[in-house]
């Protein structure tokens, strides 16, 4: 008994906490975890893992944990006192803006950036094609019972500006290149990207916006990106331009966006993310013209979301146990 207890105590204590408000496809389940560990021989013997999905129980579940796996929507605001042994939090979401402020000092945070690749890129291309072919206009006319033709041209040769050229932005760029689009990118550093004709630094954003036939926003929410696409930036877009936001709602001034759409100063918009989610029923976005919305789900792959999150976590877990450098480490100053 004593030997067994000692052996058990030596195992790495890991807790996985799911958000009960998130869709089932986003949950990292024990069954899913066990299935994945078949590809990581010996791993299960080195850890002791628990699973939870009850915010009230979280404190108790993490009391002994050294590692916490949690989605971006889990409330970890009391972790500093609840989890004295915690050393590492693996987020199963790409965006960590809600977690970040509560990560206790000295605890590493890694995210699941890369998760949205194939499905997210495909949805971004879908949104660009919808905008190019006036689908938001058709949908608005249909809602009003109006037969109102609109004629477009193919998307080839048109210019796409991508703000945030990470995994999702790159997947979108790859498809857009296949459709013959010209691609410009904006990132904090402006570092060159082989999929992008020219990269601009965030500080040059206003220079590139007038060139956009389409603007695709995929940035995480950070101190720097909050409100990045404000009224002035929207005013710099050509009136025929379309906007897609698959990043975070608060990156864009949505009130200004509604005004621009209502005045016909933008051709259309496709939004998957909102400052408050679920979107309040009082929001003017619900009925804004030439706007198509999805409820923060369009970039998540129904079949592989949790599996991909687990792949990232298990890769990192092997690294952690071996004392190697973790991947996807979030820079707490930059926020991603």
Label residues 73-101 b or e (16+ Cβ within 10 Å = b). bbebeebeebbeebebbbbbbbbbbbbbe
Residue 300 lies near a second copy (rule: CB under 8 A):
yes
Q: Which of residues 67-86 bind a second copy (CB under 8 A)?
A: none
Element (H, E) at 255: helix 254-262
Task: Say whether 183 sits in a helix, a strand or coil.
Answer: strand
Nearest to 298 by CA among 140, 173, 168, 176: 168
The answer to whether 296 is a known catalytic residue is: yes
Q: Which of 6, 38, 56, 151 binds a second copy (CB under 8 A)?
A: 151
- Which among 206, 277, 303, 324 is annotated as catalytic? 277
C-alpha–C-alpha distance, residues 107 and 67, integer Å: 9
The answer to whether 277 is a known catalytic residue is: yes
Residue 281 lies near a second copy (rule: CB under 8 A):
yes
Residue 139 lies near a second copy (rule: CB under 8 A):
yes
Shortest separation between residue 186's beta carbon and a second copy, angstroms: 25
Residue 276 lies near a second copy (rule: CB under 8 A):
no
Which among 56-64, 119-127, 219-227, 314-322 is the span making contact with a second copy, rule CB under 8 A? Answer: 119-127
Residue 27 lies near a second copy (rule: CB under 8 A):
no
C-alpha–C-alpha distance, residues 66 and 15, integer Å: 8
Which among 7-15, 244-252, 288-296, 313-321 is the span making contact with a second copy, rule CB under 8 A? Answer: 288-296
The answer to whether 116 is a known catalytic residue is: no
226-230 long-range contacts, CB within 8 A, separation 24+? 226/250, 226/251, 227/251, 227/252, 227/253, 228/163, 228/202, 228/252, 229/163, 229/253, 230/256
Size of residue set near a second copy by CB under 8 A: 50
C-alpha–C-alpha distance, residues 178 and 232, integer Å: 32
Catalytically annotated residues: 248, 277, 296
Interface with a second copy by CB under 8 A: which residues? Answer: 23, 25, 118-119, 122-123, 125-126, 129-130, 132-135, 138-139, 141-143, 145, 147-156, 178-179, 277-279, 281, 286, 292-298, 300-305
């Amino acid at each position: 008994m004593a030997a067994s207890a000692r052996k058990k105590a030596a195992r790495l204590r890991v807790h996985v906490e799911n958000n009960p408000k998130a869709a089932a496809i986003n949950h990292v389940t024990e069954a899913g975890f066990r299935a994945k560990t078949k590809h990581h021989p010996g791993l299960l013997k080195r850890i002791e893992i628990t699973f939870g999905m009850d915010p009230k129980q979280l404190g108790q579940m993490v009391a002994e944990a050294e590692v916490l796996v949690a989605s971006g929507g889990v409330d970890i605001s009391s972790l500093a006192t609840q989890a004295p042994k915690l050393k590492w939090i693996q987020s199963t979401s790409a965006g960590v803006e809600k977690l970040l402020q509560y990560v206790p000092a000295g605890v590493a945070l890694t995210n699941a950036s890369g998760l949205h690749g194939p499905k997210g890129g495909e949805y971004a291309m879908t949104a660009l094609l919808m905008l190019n072919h006036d689908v938001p206009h058709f949908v608005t006319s249909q809602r009003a019972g109006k037969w109102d033709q609109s004629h477009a041209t193919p998307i080839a040769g048109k210019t796409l500006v991508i703000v945030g050229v990470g995994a999702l932005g790159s997947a979108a760029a790859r498809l857009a290149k296949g459709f013959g689009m010209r691609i410009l990118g904006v990132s904090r550093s402006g570092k060159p990207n082989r999929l992008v004709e020219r990269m601009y630094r965030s500080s040059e954003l206003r220079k590139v916006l007038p060139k956009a036939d389409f603007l695709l926003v995929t940035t995480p929410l950070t101190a720097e990106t909050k409100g990045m696409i404000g009224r002035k930036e929207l005013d710099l877009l050509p009136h025929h331009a379309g906007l897609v936001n698959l990043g975070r709602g608060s990156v864009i001034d949505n009130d200004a966006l509604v005004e621009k759409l209502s005045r016909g100063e933008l051709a259309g918009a496709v939004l998957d993310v909102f400052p408050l989610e679920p979107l309040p029923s009082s929001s003017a976005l619900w009925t804004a013209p030439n706007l198509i919305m999805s409820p923060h789900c369009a970039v998540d792959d129904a079949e592989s979301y949790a599996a991909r999150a687990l792949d990232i976590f298990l890769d990192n877990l092997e690294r952690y146990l071996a004392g190697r450098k973790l991947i996807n480490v979030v820079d707490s100053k930059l926020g991603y």
